Amino acid sequence: MFYFFKTIFKIIGFILILNFTFIIPAGAETQKIDRLKQDAASIDKQIKKNKDKLKDFTKKEADVVDTLNEVDISINQARKKASAFHKNLTDLEKKIQSVQNQFNDLQTQIETNEIYVSKRISGLYKLNRLGKLHILINADSIIDFCQRKRALEQILDYDNQIINNLKARKIESMKMADLLAEQRQEYIILEKDYQTQVRLLSHQQQQRKKLLAGIREKKSLAKASLDSLRRSAKQLDQKIKSLQDLRQENKKKSSAGSFKAFKGLLKMPVKGKIISSFGLYKNTEFNVMNIQSGIDIKADRGSPVHSVMEGEVIYSSWFKGYGNMIIIDHGDHYYTLYAHVEELYKKKGDKVITDEVIATTGDSGSMSGPGLHFEIRHHGKPVDPVKWLKKS
């Protein structure tokens, strides 16, 4: 009997052990699942938070790129004003010099006339002492009398003319001196305005430099910058297409239609080094791929930019992402594009000849410093400019 109960207790104990063995792990698994769910919820929350941050940062990136474009426009306007002030200063300086030369000549004439008048006054004094009547009475005949009378009148008239002319020249000299004083005062004011404009330009260039440095420090801005360039390129395509649509075919056969015949013979539009090639390329600074619709040529600021072929200017103004830009129609649906220039020497509708200077290099709308962005397009589509340029 004892053995029987002992056996029964063993079986019951074994069953209890089995029950605990299976019940305890089931509770642990539930807790693990709950923890995982909590972790997943936390991760989802972080993802949402990061997405919001990324969205906000992307907006800030776009704002910085837009600000940079606005600064570029402001710099371009300041540069134009400074250039205009400098030209006005140069013109005024020439004008002042011309008036000064006239004033000096007038003073010389006045001095000469004063010497003559002084002598004549001395002569008239002697004549008055001697008496005019005495000169006439001593005439040998009526004819001699008339001749003496006429000669005396002519001398007196001439002397009066000289004296009156001297008075007029002295008045003119005084007016000219006043004009010189006004022009010199105008020059001082103009020079002050010019220096103010130069300082403003320098400040804006420093602002641009800081913005550009900030962009380069954060590689994450690459996407915003490249997206902006791609949008600008798309807008440029649309602009060229609209220009093509609006432009009527030239009824006269133009020699510019032979553009195709000069493939591989065109001169470089500016002296410099090609720093980026046409087509798909990798931006090593930002480690991203991009499509280049032309070539970038590094050159000193202010270098002359030449038209590679004769044609007609169909666009000459500011374009977002490209800065100051000129587009030339060479006929037969061939176009050349010159961007990031500083000074625009040609306006829409101007005819240009081969190798004519149309602009100067700058960095308007550029993030790579002074240089030239050059494109060749046929029916609006970009082609590789290197294949058209003469090999040096």
Q: Are 324 and 317 in contact (CB under 8 A)?
A: yes
Q: Is 250 helix (H, G, I), strand (E, B) or coil?
A: coil
Q: Report CA dihedral (347, 348, 352, 354) to the nearest 10 degrees.
A: 100
Same domain, yes or no: 330 and 232: yes
Q: Are both 110 and 225 inside the same structural domain?
A: no
Q: Which amino acid, one-letter code, is at 331?
A: G
Spatial contact of 325 and 339, defined as CB atoms under 8 Å apart: yes
Complete DSSP assignment for 256-289: GGGGGGGTTTBPPSSSSEEEE-SEEEEETTTTEE
Residue at which a domain ends, from 168, 197, 217: 217
The CA-CA-CA angle for residues 174, 178, 183, to 5°, reads: 145
Tell me which of 186, 217, 248 is where a domain ends.
217
Matching residue, tokens 């006439």: 136
Residue-level pLDDT, tens digit, the chain, 392 residues: 444 334 434 444 444 444 444 444 545 545 544 554 454 455 455 445 544 544 555 565 566 667 667 766 776 776 777 677 678 767 767 877 876 787 777 778 767 766 766 665 565 555 554 455 455 455 555 665 565 556 556 666 766 777 777 677 777 767 777 777 787 787 788 778 778 877 877 777 677 667 666 655 555 555 555 566 566 666 666 766 666 666 555 444 444 458 999 999 999 999 999 998 898 776 665 556 677 889 999 999 999 999 999 999 999 999 888 889 999 999 989 999 999 999 999 999 999 999 999 999 988 777 677 899 999 999 889 999 999 999 86
Do the Cβ atoms of 200 and 120 come closer than 8 Å? no
Domain membership of residue 40 (yes or no) is no
CATH number at residue 252: 2.70.70.10
For position 137, what pLDDT does the model report?
A: 53
Kindly report the CA angle at 212 between 60 and 201, in degrees rounded to 5? 115
Same domain, 213 and 225: no
Is residue 61 domain-resident?
Answer: no
Residue 81 maps to a domain:
yes
How far is residue 325's CA from residue 340's CA, in Å, rounded to a whole number? 6
Is 209 in the same domain as 251? no
Distance of alpha carbon 30 from the chain centroid: 70
Structural domain contains residue 302:
yes
Q: Which DSSP category does 301 fall into?
A: T
Tell me what pLDDT residue 21 has. 44
Q: What is the pLDDT of residue 213?
A: 67
Residue 230 shares a structural domain with residue 363: yes
Report which residue type is found at 336.
Answer: T
Burial (Cβ within 10 Å: 0-12, 13-18, ≥19) of residue 228: buried
Task: Give the structural domain span for 280.
Answer: 221-387
**Start-end of H helices in the chain:** 2-130, 132-137, 142-217, 221-246
Q: Is 209 within the bounds of a domain?
A: yes
* Domain end (from 190, 217, 244): 217
Give residue 314's pLDDT: 93
| Confidence at residue 140, expressed as pLDDT on a 0 to 100 scale | 59
Domains of the chain: total: 2
Q: Would you say residue 229 lies in a domain?
A: yes
Total number of residues shown for the chain: 392
Which residue's entry shows tokens 């909590």?
Answer: 38
The torsion defined by the Cα of 53, 58, 63 and 69, in degrees rounded to 10, comes to: 160
Three-state SS for 332?
coil
